[in-house]
Chains A and B, each alone.
Chain A
Amino acid sequence: MYRQGIEGFSYYLGIRSLEDVAAPTDRVCVLNILGGESRTVTPISHAFSGGNVVYGTAPGRGTQVLPTPIGDVPVYNNVREGMNAGHRFNTGVVYLPPAGVRDGVAELIRVNPKLSKIIIITEKVAVHDAREIRAIAQANGVDVIGGNCLGVADSWNRIRLGGALGGDHPDESLRKGTVAIFSNSGGFTTTIAQYLATEGWGTTTLISSGKDIYIHYAARDFAFALSNDARTKAAVLYVEPGGYYEHEVAFDKPVVACVVGRWKSKLTRAVGHAGAMAGSGDSAQDKERWFMETFGVDGLWTPETPHASAKGAVVVNIADIPAALTQVMALNGMTPDFAPTGSLALKPWMANTQGIALPADLDLPLVPAMAPYDAQIGALSKRIGAVFARQGMKDASGASVMDPKTQVTSVHGHSVLDLALEPLEASFALPLVHEIADAHDRALLDVAVSAEVNLVGEPMLIAADAAREAGNAPNAIMAAAVSIVGPRRVERPLACARTLIDLFAPTGLRTGRDPAFDVTMVAVDEATRALFLARPDEAADPRPEAMLTAVRDRGCDSVFLRFLETLGGRPSRDAILAAIATTIAWGPLTRKRISRLTAETLPWYLRLYGVMVGASIEGRHHERGNLHGIPRQERFSAWTVADLCYLAVTGKRARGDEAKPLQLLIGLLISNGPGSISAQGAKGAVAADGPQTPQRVQINTAMAGFLTHTGFSHGGNGFEGMAFLLQQFEGSGLEDPTDPNHGLDLTAMAMAFAESYKAEKRKAKELGLETRALPGVHHPVFRGKPVNHDPREEFIARFMAERGDYNIFHAFYRELVTALYEVGASPYVFCVNIDAVIAALLLAVLWKDYRSGALTGGDLETAAFNVFLYGRMIGSAAEIDDHMNRGRNMDTRTPASQCRYVS
């Protein structure tokens, strides 16, 4: 049963011409106008169309309004209320949830006798409901478009009804022309319009038909309206498989049909007869054939085989639509509506190879985007550096992770084992640039840290010495010093770094040491210049010149240092520190490996590194121009960070490879993941300052947080292994622990100890006492096999063997675990753990001085603690920076519900 609309149709059809699809006279009522999709789309449609939405409905939310750029749209509880309020409309737009669509259609039709069109945007309307919608609309003489569509639009009259054709900038895609579009795909309706414009074709009416089983406004209906629209000279149909909607449809204007979906045949499950009847014969291939027969062409249109007639062409790639249309129209003697607006060639708008060399045909150069996207991308590129999503970072880290199987921790993707093999200054930089610094940047870092270690005349040194005198452990001594390196002490280098980033970000500089970069192109005002130059009260500070000399001596280049030298004055030490930091950070910053925040705060970390190493050297060794007797320029120009640490631990200049074991040790100690107490201390301090306002986070306090979360058990216990070894080698006459020809019978020593340990164990058991644990032997994870190994210990052993290095203490430990098993003191061969390796390496470094009496047992303990702190200082810097970038305020606290009261 249907009401007769246009004569000649055996069903109701009311739309006579494409002009009527989205007409300026249409007035719209939107159902569920305040729903999520409508709320964003309707205001744009309304404004674009000059205000065609008269009201909307939202049950229970009547009296509200939908704000739009051209005024509020009233909202009523139902259609009747709006009608009673005097509003009149002929078009209903349905944004209701699927289950409500059929009833919404019924409401529109029943309540408004003047209704002529309904556009159903909702997807997933049940076929059952679509069936009934079709019947209701047919019986009442209403055209339905959709469902599951994106509405209709008219480029001539700037009208958009329902849906979002043209997106949030309809003017971009809805350009006036002579081509109508009818598309099963809502997304492609806009895309096709935009593609057509590249060849100079504009549009008249665009219809997103939807692709449900029931296409209420279908190709046959479109063909009729196309014929009657004088504005439209041609049409594009975008067609997907399924349904007979296009079968034997006659067009009297040129048409390009794009048929896609051959692949779908692969996916179709076998069906029975009824399904086969309804669903066979309407595949993509079938539809291609229908259109080819209609157009009288014997093949698909491709650029290589452009089959086309004056009636049309069939393509299977939407990118071919514009060219096919141009050809078809040329056969009809018609030319495009306007000049081509571009091409569809590949245009990468944004890219980053992350420093990987791609083949030239993949590494396509960036192409400036069209307006307004170019400006938006420009604004993005000014936002230099990475941005990290904030989240609760309790017990979590974006910097470090420990593999629970191997116990090996990685920091920014580099395992501590690998870091142990890297020069120490590379490890110093890693937490902050997230990459292994190359030799050039390492040299710069050496200069920066060297310039901060000598604390003569600084309050940090006074505080450190006072703490030392008070009997504090090395962690508290360092904490006293770093507490003084507060925000004001780094205000200027941080301001310099910030300003350098501001000045150079817009230049497109990609690396901090680009020798071709013309620094004179960066203009500065007087205030900025003053920021970088030394003040009169700094005239006596020799370090700026010494640093610049050191940079030259080391053969380094820095765009930023060159820039400082163009300012026509004497740069300050702070400015040089900032310039070095920015040079190191620039590459990772522009590659978005690190955030701007990290780059800006890098000078603070470098200063803290220097102060912490410096504070571990007693005050009496800090002199003007000399540290432990080593002259300034030598340290600045030639020393590495490892040399400085060696000096701090031994009080001596490292000769040859002497600092190498220290580098290994510090590398191994960098991190044990975010769960370690030291990391927790650092993260807690950041959380307490509030990383969501990162400018308020005191990085020095966070370092103090790490330091106060170390102690004799966590950091100081490295000495236990040394004490054990001292006990074993006391009176052995050992002179050089690195000499394999030491003349000692390690096996016998190990067996003797194992026997005594076994006896001790037995006795303790008889007395019901706990047996003492042997430092450096056994590990709760590496256990249970006949012979067990700590992979970290194996790694170091392998490395030392490859280098031909020998360490008697390490060798003893290996003998010991075997002996313990052989005498029955252990159920299997325990592993030599990483603590033993650390003790062995460090004791070998200090053995001679200990033997000579230059170092006491207390000194050894301090040295062991300091070495731990040097390593963990690096790991903590990584956690502090990570937490500042990713964390939320106070995110390390434990909810009260998870805390326990113990009585």
Chain B
Amino acid sequence: MQLTGLLHGAPLLRYVDFPVTEVLGPGASEDEIQDLLNRHGTVFVKPIFKGGVGRKGKAGLVGVVRDLKSALAEKERLYFAEHRHGALVAKANGVTFEAGVPAQHEVYFSITDDTHFRAPTMTITHKGGIEIEELDHSELATVPFEALTGLKAFVVANALSDLGAPREIISPLVQHLPRLWDLFHHYGMTTLELNPIRLRAEAGGRLLPVACDFKAGFDRDDPRMARLGLPAHLFAGSVSEFEHEVNQLRTYQGQSDVFVINEHGTILAPTFGGGANSLVTEVLGDSAIISSDFGGNPPYEKMKAVARICYRHFLRQSNVLFIIGGKANNTDIHETFRAMGDALREHFAERGPTPLHVVVGRGGPNLIRGFGTLAETCDALGVPYRFFGFDSAISEVVAYARKVDAWMSDGGRAVIARHMGLKEGGLKDDA
């Protein structure tokens, strides 16, 4: 869960009194923009993306303007700009107008938990404002520090000294940067990055660090994040309706991470445990509709609710309902299978039957009771099934599910539909 840009970042920085450049949102009037230009000379126009979008500058998605006409032209250009990062495309919705901060020095600063050190870690360089991957390691200071005491001034001072940073910037940064620990640690962040922090000359020549961009990653498991009162839609950028529904369950009923991999897939595979999830999705490839990890030992009600959502969104298009996991340790197979079976039964009752083949590979407590319950449901619904025990390699079971899927696509679906008294497409004859 990421947040980028100063529109929402600036208020967060103000919580800890960290100076931030002046920013206007997409609703700014022409007078307001002109006023900003009058006072600051240069204004940056940046598109607003939901979630984390990196390297906007490099992608030509930052406009630098000095007059209103250019500002409005850049607003028009960037308002719905698209940003491609690998296979992912983000679409902007709005722009910000951020006051330029004249400065001689630009600093990069971030705090994150670094697995090299298993500790919160500061990364800093006085050669900020550019892609830091382009810098030599000697120009960066990456310093773990003590979580219980937090980021202390001396940590910053030592790092800047080690880097040989200009003397005039050390004191202002030492005074201001430790405040960011409070924002990072007490509001559920996993990453906080300011790049650039520009050091603006104040009256008397003293430098003041001013944040000119903002990026933060949040820990979805940390309730402290709620203290910021950020609207949920900020994080809903690329979350499908399905993911959103399942994620709502997540908040109060334990783990259930899902992603829609291919909304046109034909194998619906609710998986249990991260391991099974990784393996299964890997082997299923594009046939898989979702990637999911419903975690260990989901209670009946949660499992049923999740299954209902899965079925409602995807069962109609599915050839195979594929329930797969390793040999569970403490997941009560009977409870989870009963829940999934009951949800299937209810789905058929409410939305009508659909041609389906069920393939299961699982082990764990109450396995055969679980198999029995699910088998009864399939029998009652007239759905063919094959259940594999944990002595069949998961990868083999996955391959079997793919074979069934291929057969279903190649006419098997129609065979099952006819057998169930349905039209080829799966609708009831008299519907």
Q: Which A residues form the contact surface with B (CB < 8 A)? A: 1, 11, 36-37, 40-41, 98-99, 123-128, 131-132, 134-136, 139, 150, 163-168, 173, 183-191, 194-195, 198, 211, 213-216, 218, 238, 240, 242-245, 247, 260-264, 266-267, 269-278, 282, 316-319, 342-359, 361-362, 364, 369-370, 373, 376-377, 380, 383, 386-389, 398, 403, 405-406, 408, 410, 413-415, 417-418, 591-593
Contacts of A358 in B (CB 8 A): 384, 407, 412
Evaluate whether A131 and B113 lie within 8 angstroms (CB atoms) in the complex, with A263-B282, A274-B123 already known: yes
Query: Within 8 Å of chain A (Cβ to Cβ): is B188?
Result: yes
Asked if A262 contacts B131 (CB within 8 A), the reply is: no
Tell me, in angstroms, the Cα distance from A98 to B386 when the chains sit together. Answer: 38
Evaluate whether A128 and B222 lie within 8 angstroms (CB atoms) in the complex, with A270-B86, A319-B393 already known: yes
CB within 8 Å of A: which of B375-410? 375-376, 378-380, 382-397, 400, 403-404, 407
Q: Which residue of A has the minimal Cβ distance to B83?
A: A270
Evaluate whether A271 and B52 lie within 8 angstroms (CB atoms) in the complex, with A128-B188, A164-B330, A348-B386 already known: yes
Asked if B2 contacts A187 (CB within 8 A), the reply is: no
Contacts of B383 in A (CB 8 A): 354
Q: Which residue of A has the minimal Cβ distance to B410?
A: A359
CB within 8 Å of A: which of B99-136? 108, 110-116, 118-120, 123, 131-133
Asked if B342 contacts A271 (CB within 8 A), the reply is: no
Asked if B146 contacts A1 (CB within 8 A), the reply is: yes
Asked if B380 contacts A349 (CB within 8 A), the reply is: no
Query: Within 8 Å of chain A (Cβ to Cβ): is B265?
Result: no
What 0/1 readout, one digit per residue, does chain B (295-337) give for beta carbons within 8 Å of chain A? 1110100000000000000000000000001111111100000
Q: How near does chain B come to A652, taking the closest CB pair, in angstroms?
A: 35
Asked if B217 contacts A165 (CB within 8 A), the reply is: no
Query: Within 8 Å of chain A (Cβ to Cβ): is B44?
Result: no
Tell me, in angstroms, the Cα distance from A165 to B326 when the chains sit together. Answer: 12
Evaluate whether A362 and B404 lie within 8 angstroms (CB atoms) in the complex, with A127-B113, A190-B327, A272-B215 already known: yes
Q: Which residue of B has the minimal Cβ distance to A97?
A: B254
Query: Within 8 Å of chain A (Cβ to Cβ): is B72?
Result: no
Tell me, in angstroms, the Cα distance from A213 to B218 when the chains sit together. Answer: 13
Evaluate whether A126 and B219 lie within 8 angstroms (CB atoms) in the complex, with A277-B123, A347-B388 already known: yes
Asked if B404 contacts A351 (CB within 8 A), the reply is: no
Asked if B255 contacts A244 (CB within 8 A), the reply is: no
Top 4 closest pairs, chain A to chain B, by CB: A185-B275, A592-B379, A191-B326, A319-B393
Asked if A191 contacts B416 (CB within 8 A), the reply is: no
Query: Within 8 Å of chain A (Cβ to Cβ): is B95?
Result: no
Contacts of A356 in B (CB 8 A): 384, 415-416, 419
Of the candidates B118, B380, B407, the one whose C-beta lies within 8 Å of that of A359 is B407
Tell me, in angstroms, the Cα distance from A345 to B400 when the chains sit together. Answer: 11
Q: How near does chain A come to B381, taking the closest CB pair, in angstroms?
A: 9
Asked if A272 contacts B193 (CB within 8 A), the reply is: yes
Contacts of B368 in A (CB 8 A): 369, 373, 376-377, 380
Asked if B274 contacts A139 (CB within 8 A), the reply is: no
Q: How near does chain A come to B182, taking the closest CB pair, in angstroms?
A: 12
Tell me, in angstroms, the Cα distance from A121 to B282 when the chains sit together. Answer: 27
Of the candidates B112, B278, B395, the one whose C-beta lies within 8 Å of that of A263 is B278
Query: Within 8 Å of chain A (Cβ to Cβ): is B94?
Result: no
Contacts of B378 in A (CB 8 A): 352, 354
Contacts of A185 in B (CB 8 A): 273-276, 326
Tell me, in angstroms, the Cα distance from A377 to B415 when the chains sit together. Answer: 29
Contacts of B394 in A (CB 8 A): 191, 318-319
Tell me, in angstroms, the Cα distance from A211 to B293 when the chains sit together. Answer: 13
Query: Within 8 Å of chain A (Cβ to Cβ): is B51?
Result: yes
Q: Which residue of B has the minimal Cβ distance to A211?
A: B274
Contacts of B393 in A (CB 8 A): 195, 318-319, 344-346
Q: Which residue of A has the minimal Cβ distance to B368?
A: A376
Give 7 A-B contacts (CB < 8 Å), ordered by A residue.
A123-B296, A260-B279, A274-B217, A344-B392, A350-B371, A362-B400, A415-B429
Q: How near does chain B come to A168, taking the closest CB pair, in angstroms?
A: 4
Beyond A1-B146, A269-B51, list 19 extra A-B contacts (CB 8 Å).
Answer: A131-B119, A186-B296, A187-B329, A191-B326, A269-B237, A270-B90, A271-B191, A271-B217, A274-B110, A274-B111, A278-B191, A344-B393, A346-B393, A346-B400, A354-B382, A364-B400, A376-B368, A403-B428, A593-B380
What 0/1 readout, one digit per residue, does chain B (22-44) give for beta carbons within 8 Å of chain A? 00000000000000000000000
Of the candidates B132, B254, B390, B404, the one whose C-beta lies within 8 Å of that of A124 is B254
Q: How near does chain A come to B253, taking the closest CB pair, in angstroms?
A: 11
Query: Within 8 Å of chain A (Cβ to Cβ): is B266?
Result: no
Evaluate whether A263 and B392 lie within 8 angstroms (CB atoms) in the complex, with A238-B275, A271-B54, A274-B193 already known: no
Q: Name, among A41, A128, A260, A383, the residue most crowded by chain B CB atoms within 10 Å (CB to CB).
A: A128
Contacts of A123 in B (CB 8 A): 254-255, 295-296
Contacts of B384 in A (CB 8 A): 351-354, 356, 358
Evaluate whether A37 and B330 lie within 8 angstroms (CB atoms) in the complex, with A270-B54, A350-B387 already known: yes
Contacts of B118 in A (CB 8 A): 11, 134, 214-216, 218
Evaluate whether A386 and B379 lie within 8 angstroms (CB atoms) in the complex, with A274-B191, A373-B367 already known: yes
Contacts of B328 in A (CB 8 A): 167, 187, 190
Q: How near does chain B come to A715, taking the closest CB pair, in angstroms?
A: 24
Asked if A273 contacts B54 (CB within 8 A), the reply is: yes
Of the candidates B4, B386, B395, B431, the one whose C-beta lies within 8 Å of that of A319 is B395
Tell me, in angstroms, the Cα distance from A275 to B185 when the chains sit together. Answer: 16
Query: Within 8 Å of chain A (Cβ to Cβ): is B281?
Result: yes
Q: How near does chain B come to A357, taking the closest CB pair, in angstroms?
A: 8
Q: Which residue of A has the minimal Cβ distance to B88?
A: A270
Query: Within 8 Å of chain A (Cβ to Cβ): is B234?
Result: no
Asked if B371 contacts A349 (CB within 8 A), the reply is: yes
Query: Within 8 Å of chain A (Cβ to Cβ): is B202?
Result: no
Of the candidates B110, B330, B371, the one whose C-beta lies within 8 Å of that of A273 is B110
Contacts of B112 in A (CB 8 A): 274-275, 277-278
Contacts of B147 in A (CB 8 A): 131-132, 134-135
Contacts of A213 in B (CB 8 A): 113, 115, 190
Query: Within 8 Å of chain A (Cβ to Cβ): is B345?
Result: yes
Asked if A187 contacts B85 (CB within 8 A), the reply is: no
Contacts of A243 in B (CB 8 A): 115
Contacts of B131 in A (CB 8 A): 273
Asked if B379 contacts A126 (CB within 8 A), the reply is: no
Q: Which residue of B has the minimal Cβ distance to A377?
A: B368
Tell me, in angstroms, the Cα distance from A358 to B359 when the chains sit together. Answer: 14
Tell me, in angstroms, the Cα distance from A195 to B131 when the chains sit together. Answer: 46
Contacts of A166 in B (CB 8 A): 329
CB within 8 Å of A: which of B256-309? 259, 261, 272-276, 278-279, 281-283, 291, 295-297, 299
Contacts of A355 in B (CB 8 A): 419
Contacts of A347 in B (CB 8 A): 388-389, 391-392
Tell me, in angstroms, the Cα distance from A365 to B187 when the chains sit together. Answer: 57
Asked if B396 contacts A273 (CB within 8 A), the reply is: no
Evaluate whether A380 and B372 lie within 8 angstroms (CB atoms) in the complex, with A278-B115, A350-B387 already known: yes
Tell me, in angstroms, the Cα distance from A355 to B295 when the chains sit together. Answer: 35
Tell me, in angstroms, the Cα distance from A649 to B410 when the chains sit together. Answer: 51
Asked if B52 contacts A275 (CB within 8 A), the reply is: yes
Q: Which residue of B has the minimal Cβ distance to A216?
A: B118
Contacts of A275 in B (CB 8 A): 2, 52, 54, 112, 191, 193, 215, 217
Query: Within 8 Å of chain A (Cβ to Cβ): is B81?
Result: no
Asked if B291 contacts A415 (CB within 8 A), the reply is: no
Of the candidates B219, B388, B392, B395, the one whose C-beta lies within 8 Å of that of A128 is B219
Tell me, in angstroms, the Cα distance from A135 to B145 when the chains sit together. Answer: 10
Contacts of B415 in A (CB 8 A): 356-357
Query: Within 8 Å of chain A (Cβ to Cβ): is B148?
Result: yes
Q: How near does chain A come to B341, taking the closest CB pair, in angstroms?
A: 9
Tell me, in angstroms, the Cα distance from A553 to B110 when the chains sit together. Answer: 92
Evaluate whether A346 and B430 lie within 8 angstroms (CB atoms) in the complex, with A190-B327, A273-B195, A275-B2 already known: no
Query: Within 8 Å of chain A (Cβ to Cβ): is B53?
Result: yes
Contacts of B110 in A (CB 8 A): 273-274, 277
CB within 8 Å of A: which of B56-108? 83, 85-88, 90, 108
